[in-house]
Amino acid sequence: MGADGREVERAGPAVTAGAPIAAARGLCSCHVCQLVSRRTGNGRVAHCPRCGARLHFRRPGSVQRCWALVIASYILYIPANALIMMETGSLITYRKDTIVSGVVHLWKTGSWMIAVIVFIASVAIPLLKLFSLTLLLISVQRRSTWNPRQRTRLYRLVEAVGRWSMLDIYVVTLLAALVQLGSMATVKAGPAAVAFGAVVVLTMFATMEFEPRLIWDPLQKEEFHD
């Protein structure tokens, strides 16, 4: 139960609104070497005593940079799914597939498991990552106290699954390398591959830019800035 009577979390050690945190005591964690040190000199630029990097209570501009990367990812997500992802050809047939048409083709030809994996990794996960980052950004900007532990877990999940969203790029690269060894068939990446790769990379950068400690700051009565 918090100082104001609110119950914040029950699992694990008690986390209550108004509980003392490092920033409230003037302590900073260096963003480069992770050394925790006391920030001295009110209003002056402070540097890490070990590596010399500039110290901040919270990473400055993280929300703005994260928003910019997320919006760019939303924009690129459209050509990533609307343009051709892969072109395959042989002496008999020649196909051009988007991500979704490729999934449908795999499903119709009986490769249900591969179709499900490609759909989850290449369509569902990137979209869920974008929605999750949007939810986290809106909640920290509104200084929401709603389920901070669950939102922190969501952030860790987004951070963990980011690299596995590149499945389509891996598949195209491997197929192109293998098929080009022969002369009877060709496989090459379409323009959507560039947009799709950019979406994955930008969402990974957005996740890195997001400051997860902002999730917990609304539980304190004061705000922490540079």
CA 191 to chain centre: 23
AA identity, residue 136: L
Those residues with Cβ within 8 angstroms of residue 181's Cβ, 6 or more apart along the chain or in another chain: none
Q: What is the pLDDT of residue 12?
A: 47
Six token digits for residue 46: 């402070």
Please give the structure tokens belonging to residue 149: 């532990």
| Token pair of 80 as six digits | 């990533």
Residue 79: pLDDT band (50, 70, 90) is: very high
Burial track 61-78 (b if 16+ CB lie within 10 A, e otherwise): ebbebbbebbebbeebbe
Tokens found for residue 109: 């030809």
Q: Distance between CA 54 and CA 46 in Å, rounded? A: 6
Q: C-alpha angle with apex 179: 172 to 189, nearest 5 degrees?
A: 30
Report CA-CA distances (Å) from 209 to 21, 61, 114: 22, 9, 33
Q: pTM value?
A: 0.75
Which range is most confident: 105-114, 200-209, 215-224? 200-209
Tens of pLDDT along 123-174? 888 889 999 999 999 999 998 888 899 999 999 998 888 666 666 566 656 6
Q: Taking the CA of residue 1 as centre, how many other CA atoms within 13 Å lie in the half-sphere pointing to its CB?
A: 2
Residue-level pLDDT at 9: 47
Within 31-91, where are the H helices?
Answer: 62-82
The predicted pLDDT at position 41 comes to 58
- The answer to whether 188 touches 114, Cβ cutoff 8 Å, is no
Q: Which residues of 113-152 are buried (b: 16+ CB within 10 A; e: fewer)?
A: eebeebbebbbebbebbbebbbebbebbeeeebeebeebe
Query: According to the model, what pLDDT value does residue 110 have?
Result: 81
- Separation of alpha carbons 133 and 156, rounded Å: 11
